[in-house]
Structures are given as C-alpha cells and as structure tokens.
C-alpha cells in the first residue's frame, strides 16, 4: 500500500494515477470514492454537513482500504491523529509543495471548500499541516518545479531504495 499525502494542490491525484500505472497497482482516489459513496460532491458535503462530518467519512473510508493500492488521500487526512494507524499499514509519501506552488496551482479553483475564503486562513492551514505530513511520512518528495513523471520516478526510486 502506498499512501500519498500533502496539501490540496500538491499533485496527489495526478501522481497516484501515474504511479499506479507504472507499478501496475490499482488507484484509490479517496475524495472521489467518498463522493460516490455519499452521492454528492465534497463541496456539497461540506456545505450540508460541515468539515467534521467529512473528516469522519474520510477516517471511516481509510480504515476500510484493504487492497494493495496507491491511495490518493484528502489533504486533511492528517488532521485526525487516529488516521495515523491505518496510514502506518503502508508506505506514506508526502508530496511537499511550497505555498507559492499551491497558490499558483489553485488560484482559479472554486471546487475546494477549504480553498475559498481568506488568504491568511488558507496559509495558516497550510503551515499547520506541514509538521503533520512530515510526522506520518516515510518519504518526502519535493514537487516544486517538477512534472508528474519526475515525481513518480523519484517515488519509485525511493521506495525501491
């Protein structure tokens, strides 16, 4: 099992698809799976039920993953300490992006509930999560200035190393 963690916009979904292809492993996109399970978008889930409801769904889903897969987690998976136990069942790769990279990638994105709003609040959330990502990570891959092929190659090299 390979879990990709990192802030929204760090490239988890894109990298997971390519990594799964190269390693011939199934890919699980947690946000998509939760949307399918709930029958609504993450944005709608947040609007109707709030962040804590979504985090509970995320934890429940994480605990059910059994197949050896590449898992693209939600950016906030590290917000709950209890998620560290299921994450520890595989290799955790932290896709580390700078604040500047995140802003550049997400500036036009209106689909992410926690990206809307106050810039100061977004940056604080970003900074607060950095240590949590580092704590759960077996490997950290800096993604700034790299394309997905370079990132995937680096992950494969590190995991085989």
Residue 45 near residue 112, CB atoms below 8 Å:
no
| Annotated binding residue 9 | yes
| Annotated binding residue 147 | no
77: DSSP letter: G
| Annotated binding residue 14 | yes
| Annotated binding residue 75 | yes
| Annotated binding residue 11 | yes
Structure tokens at 8: 């929204």
DSSP 104-148: HHHTT--S-TTTSS-HHHHHHHHHHHHHHHHHH-SEEEE-TT--H
Element (H, E) at 45: helix 42-49
| Annotated binding residue 105 | no
Query: 17 Cβ partners below 8 Å, 6+ apart?
Result: 27
| Annotated binding residue 112 | yes
| Annotated binding residue 135 | no
| Annotated binding residue 13 | yes
| Annotated binding residue 117 | no
Binding residues for ATP: 9-14, 112
Binding residues for substrate: 31, 55, 75, 129
Binding residues for Mg(2+): 13
Binding residues: 9-14, 31, 55, 75, 112, 129
């Amino acid at each position: 099992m390979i879990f990709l963690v990192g802030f929204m916009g760090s490239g988890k979904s894109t990298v997971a698809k390519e990594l799964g292809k190269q390693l011939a492993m199934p890919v699980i996109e947690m946000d998509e799976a939760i949307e399918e399970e709930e029958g609504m978008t993450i944005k709608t889930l947040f609007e109707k039920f709030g962040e804590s409801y979504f985090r509970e769904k995320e934890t429940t889903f994480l605990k059910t993953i059994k197949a050896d897969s590449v898992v693209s987690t939600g950016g906030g998976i590290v917000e709950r300490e209890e998620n560290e136990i299921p994450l520890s069942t595989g290799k955790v790769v932290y896709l580390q992006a700078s604040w500047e990279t995140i802003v550049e990638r997400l500036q036009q994105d209106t689909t992410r509930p926690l990206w809307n709003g106050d810039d100061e609040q977004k940056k604080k959330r970003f900074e607060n999560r950095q240590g949590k990502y580092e704590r759960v990570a077996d490997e950290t891959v800096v993604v700034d200035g790299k394309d997905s092929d370079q990132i995937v190659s680096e992950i494969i090299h590190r995991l085989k190393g």
